[in-house]
């Protein structure tokens, strides 16, 4: 941590700009992990109040407004900005059928949700993305938040070899986080993940998000707090993947849908909060011992029920070929 008494000459341009914005709050902000303008811009005025950095909303709002102005964040998305966004690379799954269903792959700044029963292939898909994010043109690093102790290093090695990547390098580029309890999950996302974003990590996978919250906040008496925490976590993630133009996948378990009129009789367990907090939802299920089907559940560019089939192999997931 840099002492507040350091002169402007001893600071980088980034640090000097941050101090200019925060003024007397600079040292305290750095103690809280807010050490770049982009990190500051990702907060809201209310969050700065809750951290005790400011006592009044006007001051906090002024600081956030200036930080966002400095890095060019504008709530008005012009045609030019939309076109720039469309040119950003999509994260490929390297399964042609899945990429087509996704609209070219995973888009940056969106939270993708995949839900399914145990053994359906959610974690297989997640593991493949940990490798494919390291391919050109993205060539990024990944974070895998493991809530169910399912991270498989051998699968990563085999998948890396399949795509002609050095397995040791691929493994070094993946950070695995034990997120088996909600506190560890939230602490990492709030205190450490922003630093990884600054270092250029391009993919965040949470496998699974709701499980740790359901374990800690059981019963209807704790339902409201559980949903509020999940909502706050999703908002935290969404704002930062939007700012940094990174990729995100969240998995979830299933529950039966009581309405027989629905085209899909299973939904995710997180309820309305998770439903609205995730940009696109897909349902995955078994169609055979080694085949799976991915269905569009809540996707703006697809009709509910549109689907593709793929297969599970020792080297990840692949297209189903017809020889």
* 102-119 pLDDT per residue, tens: 999 999 999 999 999 988
Give the distance from CA 293 to its chain's centroid.
23
| Cα separation, 264 vs 97, whole angstroms | 20
Sign (positive/negative) of CA torsion 273, 120, 142, 85? negative
Rounded to 5 degrees, φ, ψ at 318 are -145, 165
pLDDT value for 235: 95
Mean pLDDT of the 194-220 span: 93
- Looking at the structure, do residues 66 and 89 belong to the same domain, yes or no? no
- Looking at the structure, do residues 210 and 260 belong to the same domain, yes or no? yes
Split at pLDDT 50, 70, 90, the class of 259 is low
- Looking at the structure, do residues 144 and 195 belong to the same domain, yes or no? yes
Average pLDDT, the chain: 91
pLDDT at 220 over 90: no
Residue 308 within a domain: yes
In this structure, how many other beta carbons lie within 10 angstroms of the beta carbon of residue 71? 14
3-state secondary structure of 276: helix
Kindly calculate the radius of gyration of the chain based on its CA atoms and give it in whole angstroms.
Answer: 21
pLDDT at 246 over 90: yes
- Looking at the structure, do residues 105 and 253 belong to the same domain, yes or no? yes
- Looking at the structure, do residues 279 and 304 belong to the same domain, yes or no? yes
Split at pLDDT 50, 70, 90, the class of 11 is low
| Cα separation, 296 vs 308, whole angstroms | 9
For 272-305, write each residue's pLDDT tens digit. Answer: 899 899 999 999 999 999 999 999 999 999 998 9
pLDDT value for 265: 80
Count of structural domains within the chain = 2
CB neighbours of 132 closer than 8 A, spacing ≥ 6? 91, 92, 93, 94, 163
Full residue range of the structural domain in which residue 205 is found: 84-319
- Looking at the structure, do residues 135 and 229 belong to the same domain, yes or no? yes
Residue 75 within a domain: no
Peptide bond before residue 208 is cis, with ω within 30 degrees of 0: yes
| Cα separation, 179 vs 217, whole angstroms | 15
């Amino acid at each position: 941590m840099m002492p507040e008494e350091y002169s402007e000459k001893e600071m980088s341009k980034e640090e000097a700009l941050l101090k200019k914005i925060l003024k007397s709050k600079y040292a305290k902000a750095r103690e809280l992990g807010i050490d770049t303008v982009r990190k500051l811009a990702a907060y809201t005025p209310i969050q700065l109040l809750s951290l005790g950095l400011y006592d009044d909303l006007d001051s906090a709002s002024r600081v956030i407004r200036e930080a966002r102005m400095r890095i060019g964040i504008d709530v008005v998305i012009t045609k030019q900005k939309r076109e720039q966004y469309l040119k950003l690379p999509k994260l490929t799954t390297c399964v042609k059928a899945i990429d087509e269903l996704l609209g070219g792959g995973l888009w940056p700044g969106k939270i993708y949700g995949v839900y399914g029963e145990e053994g359906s292939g959610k974690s297989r898909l997640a593991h493949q993305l940990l490798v494919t994010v390291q391919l050109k043109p993205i060539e990024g690093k990944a974070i895998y938040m493991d809530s169910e102790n399912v991270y498989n290093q051998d699968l990563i090695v085999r998948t890396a070899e399949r795509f002609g990547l050095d397995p040791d390098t691929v493994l070094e580029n993946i950070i695995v986080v034990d997120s088996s309890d909600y506190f560890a999950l939230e602490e990492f996302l709030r205190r450490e993940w922003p630093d990884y974003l600054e270092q250029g990590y391009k993919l965040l996978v949470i496998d699974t998000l709701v499980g740790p919250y359901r374990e800690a906040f059981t019963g209807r008496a704790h339902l409201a707090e559980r949903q509020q925490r999940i909502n706050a976590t999703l908002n935290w993630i969404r704002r930062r993947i939007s700012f940094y133009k990174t990729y995100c996948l969240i998995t979830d378990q299933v529950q039966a849908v009581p309405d027989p009129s629905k085209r899909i009789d299973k939904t995710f367990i997180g309820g309305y909060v998770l439903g609205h907090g995730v940009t696109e939802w897909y349902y995955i299920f078994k169609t055979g011992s080694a085949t799976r089907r991915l269905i569009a559940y809540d996707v703006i560019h697809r009709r509910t029920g549109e689907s593709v089939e793929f297969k599970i192999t020792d080297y990840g997931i692949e297209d189903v070929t017809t020889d």
